[in-house]
Structure 1
């Protein structure tokens, strides 16, 4: 987590505009998602006649008390739906609510897509900046460094390590700026619906968090090992290309094939784990 935050502080500031748009669309997606689920309640009550269906006696006026705003809003919503059913029939009301639900789902999906799309310039831009800095660092190193360092390790850092940053760390950007917003809005909604049930649900958060932390540490260890094996693989390819004449002169093709197969199989087994 510390390395991830360091990468964000170093590379995200040039892309603040896209970050702001992503947060905005994530908030919009969370709000629309809540409204989409809320639209299911009157549909279920009309279809299955839950609590006798939608039954409201009269329209309620809000007296300014914020504690009763939920009751007033729910009552008035059901009042208008009831009046619509009386005038146009339950099937027509069900059709209108279904169309409204489909429209809200379309807006929610569009906001979700836009939130993911605005993250793409950040991800690709950060990976580009990392590659540029690595290349500039290579050009600034002395010749003595390259006499001791294997070229395969350098190539692996330019390809495999940067790809690992993009696939494992940068892919977390979407979750970092999306999940907290969704959790916050859903948590507020759950409290408004039933704070007792929400409190009961929170009791399960610590054990699940501990379990996810243990799994994350194991995955990180395997990831570091996989990077080292990928570096060995690229080094063997570079050494083979550089000394291909020597390998053929001593008829060592079979030996080199076995060595490469061993390293490549180790990398594959590590990725599978």
Structure 2
């Protein structure tokens, strides 16, 4: 996490993006949840038996605002008593349209804010990496492959910017969405929700086992890609020498060997990344099927206060719980690639020039007489090549 938060520092001032993103995301989640919750009064209004006289009922005392479902039912019944079933149906349909409009408006604003953050982070990160590379001493470029440096600036930065911002998006948006859905599910039926929560830890354990090795594979993949870029640069720079010494077969075999290794690692990573989402979805569908059986048994045998309309709404809400849960599982598989690339980039940023000015060096404003070298010593690593000249 230390690497992640350090990469996040390149998004400063992050509050400029985080505060609008949190506000717009919060309202998008509220209106999206309400849009699904309005299914209950819609179904209740449509399927109420007019012959039983159950349409108009006495309201009684208003429930506590902490009783979400009770308050919801109270005001729906108030509209039915005041305007009738047709008027209540018009009211609920209008509320659904308004909630959908506001939910998508706030979702667009939050995505726009996140895109601005992504571009801003990429700008700062690439600028810092490039400036630090130009400040390094010449000896660094003799010891390091140019292709590896290019790979870090071009490829690794690209991986980091998407992984960091996507993870930041999941940290705020998906947990809030999950909490909103779970609160409403508990309000409809606590027993059904407790039953559903028994299966979630099993799904989380299986997914964590799948993505466990992704970080190691991501590091190997990025290093292999850097080697390929280095071989390509060396081949193009020394093409005349390669042709002169007829070394084409050796250069080809070296590049093809690295290319095959890179493809193999990426294939293995893709299998793990793609497996996390289907596993999450399978457990989600299994939970929905189990809830349909258990909840349907309660409704059919009058063992619960759930009405058929509330039960259908519960199933619709619970099916949406899988979406943020699935996004969170996907983010855990993607963050490992971002952290691995981030470590390579930060290693380049943290590299300091080996040759620096003396603490009390005097700046020369002009050329007055001559340049003299007195008592100069120079060495390559441990071996002196010039001594007291």
Q: TM-score, normalised by structure 2?
A: 0.62
1:119 aligned partner: 114
* Whole-angstrom distance in 1 between the partners of 2:168 and 2:24: 14
Bigger Rg over Cα:
2
Segments of 5+ residues of structure 1 without an aligned counterpart are: none
Q: 1:56 touches 1:82 (CA, 8 Å); kept in 2?
A: yes
Q: 2:224 touches 2:261 (CA, 8 Å); kept in 1?
A: yes
2:167 aligned partner: 172
* Whole-angstrom distance in 2 between the partners of 1:114 and 1:206: 33
**Cα deviations by residue, 1:69-88 (Å, 9 ceiling, x for unpaired):** 642441231231354335xx
Q: 2:221 touches 2:266 (CA, 8 Å); kept in 1?
A: yes
**Cα deviations by residue, 1:79-134 (Å, 9 ceiling, x for unpaired):** 31354335xxx4x6545533431231121112112111111121121122111111
* Paired residues for 1:228-243 under 5 Å: 228-243=223-238
Change in CA separation of 1:66 and 1:43 when aligned onto 2, cut-off 3 Å: closer
* Whole-angstrom distance in 2 between the partners of 1:237 and 1:42: 65
1:55 aligned partner: 55
1:29 aligned partner: 28
* Whole-angstrom distance in 1 between the partners of 2:136 and 2:67: 69
1:270 aligned partner: 265
* Whole-angstrom distance in 2 between the partners of 1:50 and 1:122: 53
1:256 aligned partner: 251
Change in CA separation of 1:50 and 1:216 when aligned onto 2, cut-off 3 Å: farther
Aligned-residue offset at 1:137: 1.5
DSSP-derived class of the 2:62 partner: coil
Q: 1:151 touches 1:238 (CA, 8 Å); kept in 2?
A: yes
* Whole-angstrom distance in 1 between the partners of 2:174 and 2:23: 13
Deviates more, 1:95-104 or 1:239-248: 95-104
Change in CA separation of 1:5 and 1:81 when aligned onto 2, cut-off 3 Å: farther
| 1:163 matched to 2:158 | yes
Q: 1:61 touches 1:72 (CA, 8 Å); kept in 2?
A: no
Change in CA separation of 1:68 and 1:210 when aligned onto 2, cut-off 3 Å: closer
* Paired residues for 1:139-154 under 5 Å: 139-154=134-149
* Whole-angstrom distance in 2 between the partners of 1:103 and 1:67: 24
1:45 aligned partner: 44
Aligned-residue offset at 1:262: 2.8
* Whole-angstrom distance in 1 between the partners of 2:20 and 2:27: 11
DSSP-derived class of the 1:171 partner: helix
* Whole-angstrom distance in 2 between the partners of 1:271 and 1:109: 36
Change in CA separation of 1:77 and 1:27 when aligned onto 2, cut-off 3 Å: same
Q: TM-score, normalised by structure 1?
A: 0.86
* Whole-angstrom distance in 2 between the partners of 1:256 and 1:5: 41
2:217 aligned partner: 222
1:186 aligned partner: 181
Q: 2:49 touches 2:55 (CA, 8 Å); kept in 1?
A: no
* Whole-angstrom distance in 1 between the partners of 2:251 and 2:53: 76
Deviates more, 1:24-33 or 1:252-261: 252-261
* Whole-angstrom distance in 2 between the partners of 1:50 and 1:33: 29
Aligned residues: 267
2:4 aligned partner: 4
* Whole-angstrom distance in 2 between the partners of 1:270 and 1:54: 65
Q: 1:62 touches 1:69 (CA, 8 Å); kept in 2?
A: no
